[in-house]
């Protein structure tokens, strides 16, 4: 008999900022209450967008000594009716379900919406028996899936240790890759370039010089100081980038204003300016050790402008502020020659239908071998000087 009980919150506001952040803390910008609440209140994560909040909330039974319930665990959870904004691709799984006359949607997803960033996903108070509480959460999520007819539960981009922990509960393991840059106590960007081979070093300098020759300059604006005009221009750039691909951006304009008000210390904007006009911008998140490059857009395209605004300027910032690493987001063979190193990312997948679970397990086994080879090949292409 458990001395705690689990419920599913239709809004993160039911749990509240104090209870949520007391477990998640605020070091990970994409798991803190303000980020997730901002997505919800501005209409980015709703039933209409296919991201219906249904967050796991575990509390002690009865009242604590102060008369209040004690929250001992929270897990971000969404009931999804599509696979957009996840970055761990399962479209082929959905098509397989459909071809056999089964419904893949809805499904459960635990993730930072629209954000392929690695971080903790299941938050349990250190005073609780983590193994026991996790088992209880897994049991209850599966029960809820059965009630709602959800086909599966997907935990995206957890920490490696957490990924292994979740795997012990029969939830299948999947790996992927991203490209991250690591600040090896560089004193300047030129210091970083010194560790690259001559050809790659010259190529990067040529790219940066090309931008300078166009009289394009850059300025960094920390979160509290970003103006309304900058936000308006940024959102125009952001949507234009999606429109060029025939898509609509996931995020609403009000979302950016909300996080500017509620978590300004963890964001900053880099603007590119030409002829006294902002022509591009990139929004970054940060914590005490890490930089996260996330959203960008431009008014008009220039050769190498994306690389400079989103990568080189970010590396400059990380060096200047002594941040240890730079997560520049999804995709990325083009990042290899710019010193971004391949890392493994992780996800876990519980599939209710045993037949499909077995088929997906076989797929993941084959995919894993490919991912290992891919990472090894990517590492062989890194531009660092060969060690003597």
Q: For 55-69, what is each residue's pLDDT tens digit?
A: 999 999 865 555 467
Asked if 253 and 368 sit in the same domain, the reply is no
Question: Residue 34 falls within a domain, yes or no?
Answer: yes
Instruction: Please indicate, yes or no, if residue 97 is contained in any of the structural domains.
Output: yes
Residues 222 and 356 in one domain: no
Q: Tell me the sheet residues that pair with 220.
A: 270
**Is residue 36 located within the same domain as residue 172?**
yes
Residues 359, 277 within the same domain: no
Instruction: Report d(CA 156, CA 153) in Å as an integer.
Output: 10
Which value, to the nearest 10 degrees, does the dihedral of the CA atoms of residues 307, 309, 313, 317 take?
A: -130
- The CATH number linked to 33 is 3.40.630.30
Mean pLDDT of the chain: 94
- Do 170 and 246 lie in a common domain? no
Q: Which pTM was predicted?
A: 0.95
Q: Is there a single domain that holds both residue 28 and residue 96? A: yes
Exposed e or buried b for every residue in 269-279, given b needs 16+ CB within 10 A? Answer: bbbbebeeebb
Distance CA 284, CA 302 (A): 21
pLDDT the model gives residue 143: 98
**pLDDT at residue number 388:** 43
User: What string of DSSP letters covers 242-288?
Assistant: HHTTT---SS-HHHHHHHHHH-GGGEEEEEEEETTEEEEEEEEEE-S
Q: How many CB atoms lie within 10 A of CB 365?
A: 10
Judge whether 331 lies within some domain.
no
Tell whether the model's pLDDT for residue 29 goes beyond 70: yes
Are 94 and 88 contacting, i.e. CB atoms less than 8 angstroms apart? no
**How many beta carbons lie within 10 A of that of residue 146, not counting itself?**
10
Q: At what angle do helices 17-24 and 33-41 cross, to 10 degrees?
A: 130
pLDDT of residue 62: 67
Quick one: tokens of 269?
């904007």
Question: Is 218 a member of any domain?
Answer: yes
Q: What is the pLDDT of residue 247?
A: 72
Structure confidence at residue 333 (pLDDT)? 87
Cα(104)–Cα(108) distance, integer angstroms: 10
Task: Please check whether residues 97 and 28 belong to one and the same domain.
Answer: yes
Residue 126, pLDDT score: 93
Q: Are residues 97 and 155 in the same domain?
A: yes
13 with 64, same domain: the answer is yes
Q: For residues 207 and 384, give the distance between their C-alpha atoms in angstroms, rounded to a whole number.
A: 18
Spell 320-336 as b/e; 16+ CB within 10 A means b.
eeebeebbbbeebeebb
Q: Is the pLDDT of residue 249 over 90?
A: no
**Residue 51 and residue 155 share a domain:** yes
Per-residue pLDDT of 168-224, as tens digits, reads 999 999 999 999 999 999 999 999 999 999 999 999 999 999 999 999 999 999 999
The answer to whether residue 101 is domain-embedded is yes
Q: Is the pLDDT of residue 149 over 60?
A: yes
Tell me if residue 296 falls in helix, strand or coil. Answer: strand
318 and 261 belong to one structural domain: yes
**Would you place residue 387 in the very low, low, confident or very high pLDDT band (cuts 50, 70, 90)?**
low
Instruction: Say how many CA atoms lie within 13 Å of 378 toward its Cβ.
Output: 24
Residues 299 and 202 occupy one common structural domain: yes
Instruction: Determine the distance from the C-alpha atom of residue 328 to the mean position of all C-alpha atoms in its chain, rounded to a whole number.
Output: 10
* Residue at 385 is within a domain: no
Question: What is the tally of structural domains in the chain?
Answer: 2
List strands edge to edge, sheet with 55-60: 4-9, 55-60, 71-75, 123-124
Q: Tell me the average pLDDT across 122-127.
A: 96
Give the residue from 240, 225, 228, 221 showing the smallest Cα distance to 313: 221
Q: What are phi and psi of 67, to 5 degrees?
A: 85, 0
pLDDT above 90: residue 354: yes
Look up the domain containing 95 and give its range: 4-178+344-378
For helices 354-380 and 91-99, angle between their N-to-C axes, nearest 10 degrees: 150
C-beta separation of 296 from 306 below 8 A: yes
- Confirm whether 387 is domain-assigned: no
Let me know if residue 355 belongs to a domain: yes
């Amino acid at each position: 008999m458990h001395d705690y009980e689990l419920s599913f919150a239709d809004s993160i506001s039911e749990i509240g900022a104090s209870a949520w952040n007391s477990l998640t803390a605020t070091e990970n910008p994409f798991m803190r209450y303000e980020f997730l609440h901002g997505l919800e209140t501005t209409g980015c994560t709703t039933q209409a967008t296919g991201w219906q909040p249904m967050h796991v909330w575990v509390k002690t039974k009865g009242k604590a000594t102060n008369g209040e319930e004690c929250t001992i665990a929270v897990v971000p959870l969404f009931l999804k009716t599509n696979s957009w904004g996840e970055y761990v691709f399962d479209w082929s799984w959905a098509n397989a379900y459909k071809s056999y006359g089964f419904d893949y949607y809805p499904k459960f997803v635990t993730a930072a919406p629209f954000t392929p960033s690695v971080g903790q996903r299941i938050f349990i108070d250190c005073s609780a028996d983590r193994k026991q509480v996790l088992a209880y959460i897994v049991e209850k999520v599966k029960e809820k899936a059965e009630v709602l007819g959800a086909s599966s539960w997907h935990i995206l981009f957890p920490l490696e240790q957490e990924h292994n922990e979740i795997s012990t509960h029969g939830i299948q393991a999947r790996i992927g890759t991203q490209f991250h840059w690591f600040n090896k106590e560089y004193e300047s960007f030129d210091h970083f370039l010194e560790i690259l081979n001559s050809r790659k070093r010259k190529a990067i300098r040529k790219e940066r010089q090309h931008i300078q020759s166009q009289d394009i300059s850059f300025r960094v604006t920390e979160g509290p100081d970003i103006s309304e005009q900058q936000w308006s221009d940024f959102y125009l750039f952001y949507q234009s980038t999606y429109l060029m691909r025939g898509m609509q951006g996931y995020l609403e304009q009000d979302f950016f204003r909300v996080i500017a008000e509620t978590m300004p210390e963890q964001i900053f904007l880099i603007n590119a300016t030409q002829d006294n006009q902002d022509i591009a911008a990139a929004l970054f998140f940060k914590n005490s050790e890490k930089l996260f490059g996330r959203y960008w857009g431009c008014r008009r395209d220039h050769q190498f402008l994306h690389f400079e605004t989103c990568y080189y300027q970010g590396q400059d910032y990380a060096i200047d502020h002594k941040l240890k690493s730079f997560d520049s987001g999804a995709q990325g063979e083009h990042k290899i020659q710019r010193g971004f190193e391949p890392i493994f990312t992780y996800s876990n997948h519980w599939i209710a239908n045993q037949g499909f679970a077995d088929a997906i397990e076989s797929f993941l086994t084959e995919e894993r071998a490919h991912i290992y080879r891919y990472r090894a090949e990517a590492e062989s292409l890194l531009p660092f000087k060969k060690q003597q």
